Amino acid sequence: MSVLEKCKQITSFNHCRDETISRKVIGRVLEGGRNAPSPGGVQSVKFIVVETDETMEQIEHIVDDSRVEEAPTAVVVLTDRGRMARRFGREEAIEACEAESSAAVHNMRLVESENGLSTVRFSGFDGEVLGDMLTCPDNVVPTDIVLLGYTGNPVPMGEKYGMNEICYYEEYGNQVSTFFDGPEWEGVSEERRIFRKKYKGFRDKLSRIIRKVL
């Protein structure tokens, strides 16, 4: 299966089974997150694996979502803002940390999907409150939470906009054709090749018509 196909097969859940996730699988998921790109190579991301009922209840209180109660495992993604600030400055550190956390979560969800798991991601919560609950240092703040679980009813991602609706040539709004939506589209270079071929065919046809008229 290609990476593109894996991206399309990421799922979430409304309900999941009460089934323990093996340490081996969790380790693979964390490896995916650890190997995500990092702004400036700072590597500010850290992880807390949560499985106890008490801590899961604390997370549920923070995000106010009943799915936390059913999930056997959650991974809290932390970022070290102090470390990032030494590279980019305090003002830009928060944005850089959030970018790194998002990249880590995406990698984790790809690995989870590969291992038959569905996931739920939470962000935008009060990270400082959760950080206090998890005894994090002041400079280390939770930015994302990922629930892991096995489910018999995975929820697929919503339908995406067509490629021709969001991708342009050279400048915004310059939509050349609807070939972006084709299953065989292989990028801008391929689209240009197709366009040149169609243009050449049209030009040759027009030349034949002109010769007949003249």
Choose among 94, 101, 92: nearest CA to 46.
101
- Please calculate the CA angle 129-135-140 and round it to the nearest 5 degrees: 75
Residues of the chain with pLDDT under 50: none
Tell me which architecture the domain covering 3-156 has in CATH.
Answer: 3-Layer(aba) Sandwich (3.40)
Predicted confidence at residue 145, as pLDDT, reads 98
Which DSSP letter does residue 81 get?
H
**Where do the domains of the chain lie?**
3-156, 163-213
Per-residue model confidence as pLDDT tens digits over 163-193: 878 888 888 888 766 555 555 555 555 556 6
- Please calculate the CA angle 30-36-42 and round it to the nearest 5 degrees: 110
Predicted confidence at residue 108, as pLDDT, reads 97
Rounded distance, CA 72 to CA 148, Å? 7
Q: At what angle do helices 81-88 and 90-114 cross, to 10 degrees?
A: 120
3 state SS for 144-170: EEEEEECCCCCEECCCCCCHHHHCCCC
Rounded distance, CA 11 to CA 151, Å? 10
Rounded distance, CA 68 to CA 61, Å? 9
> What is the end-to-end Cα distance of the chain in Å, rounded?
56
Predicted confidence at residue 136, as pLDDT, reads 97
Radius of gyration of the chain from Cα atoms?
A: 24
Per-residue model confidence as pLDDT tens digits over 120-136: 999 999 999 999 999 99
Predicted confidence at residue 1, as pLDDT, reads 73
